[in-house]
């Protein structure tokens, strides 16, 4: 694993391990929301003492690697203390599974949560997606590209919508066709070659297919007037996921009239000490848009 890849994977640990608050909550572990290749896809549910109907879908993901060891009750407390129910979702990890497959996994998770919302005291129309880095990217995919499943799907859960009603996240990749600067594709950047397995490309992948993949996994191309209200917190010294990414999608969101806010953290890189202080900012955004 390269140093670059290791840094991005470590972000999920930094984000989930430090966002903390005090509250009473109940944890339900290893809730199965789907299956793939004979394996269970699971999440942990953190229930507040008095649910207010808001559900937080927290993407446990860094570098599109999703480890159960990164599930942390402390990140849930920042939200359950306000009556929100948190679902910390794990997905199939890179490099075994691609980003597109991770998107499919978390889409299934949102559909599962929406279908079973009453079991957790959650309103199916009050779901927010949150996460950092790759987790932020997956959150945006649900806010921008989520959609109803096939009406003829054999499993009723797969017919439900995967779109969330709010997004609040940290430093997410947003446009893999224009990365660092306009016209520069992330897939072709030598610094990001270690992510080829996650992108689903190799030396034999044609330029045309690379473009198709980059577009398919870029949330910016799903932005519409129906996109969820979106908050992004991003450091302007981030070299791994440049703040240019958040600026691009913010411009698109505002063009579409979607409530959106980019909060810049001067001098901060890809994760920073004290990020725990941002928990209330994420929760404030969700409450503002779903707490009515």
Identify the structural domains of the chain with CATH numbers, from first to last. 3-174+226-290 (3.40.50.1820)
User: Taking residues 266-283, what's their average pLDDT?
Assistant: 91
User: Taking residues 32-46, what's their average pLDDT?
Assistant: 96
Confidence of residue 14 (pLDDT cuts 50, 70, 90): low
User: Taking residues 267-278, what's their average pLDDT?
Assistant: 90
- Percent of residues, the chain, with pLDDT higher than 90: 87
CA distances 283 to 11, 15, 139, 277, Å, are 20, 14, 15, 11
Buried b / exposed e along 65-82 (16+ C-beta atoms within 10 A) = bbeeebbbeebbbbbbbb
Is pLDDT larger for residue 17 or for residue 113? Answer: 113
User: Taking residues 245-259, what's their average pLDDT?
Assistant: 98
Contact 284, 128 (CB under 8 A): no
Neighbours of 129 (CB within 10 A): 34
């Amino acid at each position: 694993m390269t140093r670059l890849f290791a840094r991005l994977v470590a972000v999920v640990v930094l984000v989930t391990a430090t966002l903390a608050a005090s509250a009473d909550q109940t944890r339900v572990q290893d809730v199965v929301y789907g299956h793939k290749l004979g394996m269970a896809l699971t999440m942990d549910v953190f229930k507040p003492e008095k649910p207010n109907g808001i559900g937080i879908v927290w993407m446990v993901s860094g570098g599109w690697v999703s480890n159960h060891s990164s599930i942390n009750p402390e990140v849930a407390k920042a939200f359950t203390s306000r009556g929100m129910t948190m679902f910390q979702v794990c997905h199939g990890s890179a490099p075994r599974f691609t980003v597109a497959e991770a998107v499919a996994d978390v889409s299934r998770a949102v559909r599962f949560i929406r279908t079973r919302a009453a079991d957790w005291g959650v309103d199916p129309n009050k779901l927010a997606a949150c996460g950092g880095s790759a987790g932020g990217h997956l959150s945006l995919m649900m806010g921008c590209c989520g959609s109803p499943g096939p009406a003829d799907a054999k499993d009723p859960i797969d017919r439900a919508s995967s779109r969330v009603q709010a997004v609040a996240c940290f430093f997410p990749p947003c446009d893999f066709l224009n990365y660092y600067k306009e016209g520069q594709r992330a897939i072709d950047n030598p610094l990001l070659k270690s992510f080829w397995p996650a992108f689903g490309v190799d030396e034999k992948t044609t330029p045309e297919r690379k473009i198709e993949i980059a577009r398919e996994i870029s949330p910016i191309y799903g932005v519409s007037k129906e996109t969820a209200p979106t908050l992004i917190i991003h450091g302007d010294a981030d070299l791994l996921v440049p703040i240019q990414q958040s600026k691009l999608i913010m411009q698109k969101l505002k063009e579409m009239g979607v409530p959106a806010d980019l909060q810049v953290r001067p001098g901060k890189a890809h994760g920073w000490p004290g990020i725990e202080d941002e928990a209330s900012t994420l929760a404030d955004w969700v409450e503002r848009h779903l707490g009515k």
